[in-house]
Structure 1
Amino acid sequence: MTNAEMSHGKGFEVHTIFEKIAGYYDRMNLVMTLGRHTRWCREVATRAAPPAGGQLLDLATGTGAIALAAAQIYPTVAVTGVDFSEAMLARARIKSGAGTVRWQQADATRLPFDDESFDAITEGYLLRNVEDPAGVLREQYRVLEPGGRIVILETCPPSGPMKPILTWGMRTIVPLLGQTVARDRSSYTYLESSTLGFTSPQHVADVLGELGFQNIGWSKKFFGTNVILWATKPSR
C-alpha cells in the first residue's frame, strides 16, 4: 500500500493505529483473550487444510501468529504472510520460525497476486478494519484455487442474555487494559468500538454465500465475542 493510497479515510486511521501498537500487540492479545488467542490461531491454520506442497496466504498477518502456526503444522506448504503495516511485519520477521514464511507488505483490498494463486487463505481481524469487507472477500475469492478453503478469525458484537454485561466489559475493560498494559488507551478505544460496531457472523456468512463460497460455517469463542468462520470455493 502506498502513502497515497493510505492518505485518507479509514485505511489511514487503521494503518496509523497498527503501526503504533505493533510493539505490544501480542501481549495485549494474550491478556484480552486470557491466553486463548494462540489456540484460536492454531485452529484457524488447522481448518485451512491446504494440500501437501500447496500455497497458503495469511492476510492481516500482523505479527505472524496464524502464518507461523500454519508453517509449523504444514511443513511442506509455502506460507505467505501479508500485512499493510510494516511495523507489524518487522515484529513477525524476528520471531522463531519466521524464516519458513514469506512476509510481504500489501493491501488486502488489491492483492498483488494472480487469480487462483493459493490453495487456502487465512486471516485474523481483517474485516472489521476495512471499509468494504465484501470487496476484500471478493479479492480473496479471486486468488483462491477452486476447492480451496478460507478461514477467518474475527471479533463479533455480543448478543443474547449476556449482551449488556459483555458490552459494558468491552467498553470499560479493553481501553483500561490498553492504558495499563500498553500505555495507549486511545488505540484500544478504537479497537473496542470497531468490535462493537462490526457485523454478526450470520451477515459475514451471507456475504460469503453471495460471493459464491459454499460449505460455510462458524464457531463462536470467548462468550461469543470472537468467531472463527470457514468456507470453500466451489471446485470446477
Structure 2
Amino acid sequence: MPRGKGSEVHGIFEKIAGYYDRMNFVMTLGRHEKWCREVAERVAPPASGQLLDLATGTGAIALKAAGMYPAATVTGADFSEEMLRRAKTKPGAESVRWLQADATRLPFEDESFDGITEGYLLRNVEDLDGVLREQYRVLKPGGRIVILETCPPSGLVKPVVTLGVRVLVPLLGQVVARDRSSYTYLESSTLAFQSPQHVAGILKGLGFQDIGWRKKFFGTNVILWATKPR
C-alpha cells in the first residue's frame, strides 16, 4: 500500500471513485473525453503491441485505446482498488487487463511496453523523477509516452484562472459530489504542480526525445508526449 503522501492520495481516490467521471465532465465542460481520445491517438502503438495506461482510474484512456487498437494488449493500472472496480463495470472493460499497481515500483520487466499513457498521475506523486524513470525502464526503445496532466496557469490570464480554480473546483466538489475537502486537495495540487517545461526537462534528462506538449482549457491542462530512442 502507498505510504506518506501516497497513503493520503490513495484515500482520496478511493473516496471519490463513485463520482470521478461526473466531476471530470463538469470541471472540463465535457472536454475530458476528447482529451483522453487524443492521448490514445498520440501513443499509436504498433499492431499487436503492448500498451500500459497508468493511473487508469475508471479506465477512460485505457478503454479509448482498446477501442482504437483492438489487436493491441491494453493494461490499465491504478493503485486504487475502488477506481479499478468501477473501471471493470464499464462497456468494453473485458478488452482491458486491469491491474492494481504502484507507479513508483512497476511490476513489469524492462522494455515490456510499446507505449505508455497516463492521466493525472504526476501531480499526485512525491518523486516525479523516479516515477518517470520507471516508465522509461518499462518502455521499449522507439515507444512513446503520452501524459494528460493539470497545468499551473501562466501569462496574462494567470490571476483570473488561478482565482477560478481556487473557487470553482472546491465549490463543484461540494455541489456535485458533496465532497469539498477532496476537491480542495485537487485544486491545490493543480496550482502547485510543475509547468510543462519542467516536466519536459525531466523527460529530456532521462533520455527521452521528440518531446512536445499542447495546453488545453485556458492552460489548466496539458498533453505532453515523448519517445524513447531506439
Instruction: Output the amino acid matched with 2:16.
Output: I
Q: Does 1:39 align with 2:37?
A: no
1:139: which partner in 2?
134
Map 1:58-207 to 2 at 5 A.
58-207=53-202
How many aligned positions are there?
Answer: 230
Tell me by how many angstroms 1:207 deviates.
0.2
> Residue deviations 1:153-173, cap 9 Å, x none?
000100010100000000000
SS in 1 for 2:8: helix
Q: Deviations over 1:62-106 (max 9, x none)?
A: 000000000001010000000000000001000000000000000
Amino acid at match of 1:204: V
Amino acid at match of 2:106: L
CA distance in 1, matches of 2:68, 2:221: 23
Gaps of 5+ in 1: none
Q: Structure 1 residue runs of 4+, over 4 Å off?
A: none
Report the identity percentage: 79
Q: Structure 2: 5+ residue runs without aligned partners?
A: none
Q: What does the per-residue CA deviation read over 1:12-40, in whole Å, with 9 as the maximum and x for residues that have no partner?
A: 11000000000000000000000000000
1:234 alignment counterpart: 229
Partner secondary structure for residue 131 of structure 1: coil
Q: What do you get for the CA RMSD once the two structures are aligned? A: 0.5
Residue type at the aligned position of 1:228 = I
Tell me the distance in 2 between the aligned counterparts of 1:124 and 1:160.
Answer: 24
Match runs of 1:206-221 below 5 Å: 206-221=201-216
**Residue aligned with 1:161, SS:** helix
Alignment correspondent of 2:15? 20
**TM-score, length basis structure 1:** 0.97
For 1:89 and 1:180, how far apart are their aligned partners in 2?
25
Query: What displacement does 1:9 show?
Result: 1.3
Tell me the TM-score normalised to structure 2 length: 0.99
* Counterpart AA for 1:133: L
